[in-house]
Structure 1
Amino acid sequence: MHVWNGLDEVPEDFGPSVVTIGNFDGVHRGHAAVLRRIVDLAHGSDARAVAVTFDPHPLQVHQPGSAPELITGLADRTELLAGTGLDAVLVLEYTLDLARQTPEQFVVECLARGLRARTVVVGHDVRFGRDNSGTMETMVALGREHGFDVVPVDDVGQAPGADGPGADRWSSTLVRELLAAGRVDEAAAVLGRDHRVRGTVVHGDARGRELGFPTANLGDVVGMVPADGVYAGRLVRPGRLARGEADAVLPAAVSIGTNPTFDGDERRVEAYVLDRTDLDLYDEEVVLELVQRLRPTVRFDGIDPLVAQMHADVALARAVLGRAGNA
């Protein structure tokens, strides 16, 4: 799959294409179902399937104080989009200049000229162009003028336990709510996979090593960090995974929180790879996949009860991952 960071990277001879537009945060099951339809539509008509997305999220530009926390960073988003079978993703830098484009300017420059769209697939509630003035009706009218069809698409699916046909549809908002509550297993049901965060392993306080549980501390974490607590999960080493090397995916117990037993005030994400004390992960980029929350973060009255609980956490993480076929 091609990833283009701007219209200037799109080949001049690219097209024709079937295009959809969206933020696709999390690339949840609803996104994936729609994108697979686009791939089928494109490949059934000798065209290319393309998703147009934005970085940063538009609300981070227009309302930075109230913008949603992103479920996935751009690297994970494009990787997940590739998994749907798309031929290309066009990442547009979202700026105030882009936001000031009229609906027609956006359609002409991006869809008609840039991607040579034959078909544009969008939701009924699509909004685009200056002040979100472009609507579905606008897109249809511009399609007639500039040579592409417009196919409306409905939201796909709903969350487990939803009450009624429109309740709790698969959405990025729902995923954020579940992660904020630590319900990563329920979030996985909407995402279609375990939630992941990414970061580079940095030096910490080395307390875990002193207690017999050396941890990989993540710095510059990308992806929404769920509620504080201890989780069963996996530590993935993308470089090794791409090369097919050993120790690329490792079962882990993940701690998220401030280490209240030691009066910590900095929120951290750290992972103990089960039964391994020989790994040197410093300065390596890793991905943590979170399978299930085991317990909330609590303060212990001393080292001995903390260590006893850590042994219990590891045993429980091993059992949970074993049931999931990961330990």
Structure 2
Amino acid sequence: MPPQPSIMTIGNFDGFHRGHQHILALAKSLADKHDDKLIAITFDPHPIAILNPGKTPTRLTTIERRIELLKAAGATEVVVLKPTRQLLAESPEQFVQQIVDQYHPIAFVEGADFRFGHERAGDINLLRQLAEQYNFTVHTPDTLNITLTNNHIAPVRSSLIRWLIGQGRVADAAVSLGHPYTLTASVVRGAQMGRKIGFPTINLCNGHTAAFQLPLHGVYAGTATFPHLPDQIFTAAISVGLKPTFENKQKQLFIEAYLLDTDLDLYDKTVHLSFTAWIRDQLAFSSVDDLIAQMHRDVAQVRCFALKNRHEPLAVTALQSQSDSR
């Protein structure tokens, strides 16, 4: 029996942003048309982690979440390749031949900036040349642009999303991703200073977040969900930074969240902490009382934001995406 033909798409897919979703939508339509498999190939870790570890980009998603999102978008199978030096040394032609031999593609769906093979020497034009040799087609959807809150129009890129998050522009990151940016980590015990001043927080394990893109130091509105509480979404006031009002000689980074209207014991649980809106810069207050007064204002602002957005997708519906067909 001949092998089932497949539709292929290859990429890092970190964050699985709206540009990636655009590519998967076209690939799925091709697969559905002829009842073919849709195979998505991704890499873990990022190839740069092998070739130039000092320049490894920060992550936007765990590999588990990436697989989950790719499958939800229609991938029949997700193949995770470990980018060994042997694999990264393959010429573009060798890489494509390996894919053809193993997966029997009848079509590739890739962005116009797709690169592959040793030193990223292969591009979409070479892939089209190889298509004639191996009898597959190549499809490149129009570049997907998004309109940011400052009305700037930009193509969706993982690098842009990392920059936006690093600037504290989490609402724009959510527009680009199609969902709020989320960090996943275990809840660990802190100094319990928040509990002493009336705002008990959950603290994220720094070891779990070290490889991920962290938002600019500041206070954010967001949500928290927990795998062991699948039906509950908690509104959260999130702080990222060095807790400058308190002594922090080691300059330790803290990512902590005050969950509104709950007092559950969540230590050692896994949390998905999502950032939906910027509230303010992180500040050093002259007294704890001043800090407490500001935290009351922060929580009121977070609550107002949550009530305003509870009937619509967070930070996404007000802005528009568009395809560049020029």
1:54–1:93 CA contact under 8 A, matched in 2? yes
Which residue does 2:318 correspond to in 1?
A: none
Unaligned residue ranges in structure 1 (runs of 5+): 1-11
Give the Cα–Cα distance (whole angstroms) in 2 for the partners of residues 101 and 77 of structure 1: 25
Shift of 1:84: 1.6
Deviation at 1:14, TM superposition (A): 6.5
Identity of aligned residues (%): 37
User: 2:278 maps to which residue?
Assistant: 293
Aligned residues of 1:122 and 1:151 also touching (Cα < 8 A): yes
Q: Identify the residue that residue 270 of structure 1 maps to in structure 2.
A: 256
| 1:13 positional shift | 8.3
Residues 126-174 of structure 1, C-alpha deviations (whole Å, 9 max, x = no match): 22112222233332333333332222333222333566xxx52111122
Aligned-residue offset at 1:275: 2.2
8 Å CA contact retained: 1:238, 1:286: yes
Pairwise CA distance, 1:63: 2.2
Measure, in 2, the Cα distance between the counterparts of 1:268 and 1:295: 16
Counterpart pick for 2:135 among 135, 141, 147: 147
Q: Aligned AA for 1:283?
A: D
Which whole-Å CA distance do the structure 2 matches of 1:15 and 1:324 have between them?
A: 45
1:97 is aligned to 2:86: yes
Q: Is the 8 A contact 1:56 1:94 kept in 2?
A: yes
Question: Aligned residue for 2:219?
Answer: 230
Query: Taking structure 2 as the reference length, what is the TM-score of the superposition?
Result: 0.87
Q: The residue matched to 1:65 in structure 2 has which SS?
A: helix
The one-letter amino acid of 1:198's match is: T
The one-letter amino acid of 1:254's match is I
3-state SS in 1 of match to 2:296: helix
- Cα deviation digits, residues 71-121 of structure 1 (max 9, x gap): 222122222223322222111111211101122322222x21222211112
Count, aligned residues? 306
Query: 1:36 is paired with a residue of what secondary structure?
Result: helix
Does the Cα contact within 8 Å between 2:26 and 2:141 map onto a contact in 1? no
Which letter maps to 1:37?
L
Given the alignment of the two structures, is residue 38 of structure 1 paired with residue 27 of structure 2, yes or no? yes
Please give the secondary structure, in 2, of the residue aligned with 1:168: strand
SS of the counterpart of 1:262?
coil
Of 229, 236, 260, the residue aligned with 1:252 is 236
> Could you tell me which residue of structure 2 aligns to residue 284 of structure 1?
269
- Show the counterpart of 1:28: 17
In 2, Cα distance between the equivalents of 1:275 and 1:177? Answer: 33
Residue 177 (structure 2) pairs with residue 191 (structure 1) = yes
Equivalent residue of 2:93, what SS? helix
Deviations 1:20-55 (A, max 9, x none): 111112111111112111101111111011211111
Q: Deviation string for 1:220-244 (max 9, x for gaps)? A: 1264211011111111112432xxx
CA distance in structure 2 between the partners assigned to 1:100 and 1:224 by the alignment: 28
Contact 2:16 2:66 in 1 (8 A): yes
Distance change (3 Å), C-alpha of 1:159 and 1:88: farther
* 2:200 match: 214
Q: How does 1:111-126 map to 2 (within 5 A)?
A: 111-126=99-114
Q: How does 1:160-199 map to 2 (within 5 A)?
A: 160=148, 168-199=154-185
Match of 2:80, as an amino acid?
V
Residue pairs, 1:55-134, within 5 angstroms = 55-109=44-98, 111-134=99-122
Q: Which has the higher contact order (CA 8 A, sep 6+)?
A: 2
Describe the shift of the 1:263–1:90 C-alpha distance in structure 2 as closer, same or farther (beyond 3 A). Answer: same
Are the aligned partners of 1:216 and 1:281 in contact in 2 as well (CA < 8 Å)? Answer: yes
**CA–CA distance in structure 1, aligned partners of residues 282 and 289 of structure 2:** 16
In 1, the alpha carbon distance for the partners of 2:190 and 2:13 equals: 34
In the TM superposition, residue 267 of structure 1 has moved relative to its aligned partner by: 0.8
| Separation of aligned partners in 2, 1:14 and 1:72 | 33
Q: Does structure 2 retain, via aligned residues, the 8 Å contact 1:123–1:152?
A: yes
Query: In the TM superposition, what is the alpha-carbon distance from 1:182 to its structure 2 partner?
Result: 0.4
**2:6 paired residue among 6, 12, 17:** 17
2:321 is matched with which residue? none
Q: Distance in 2 between matches of 1:133 and 1:182?
A: 35
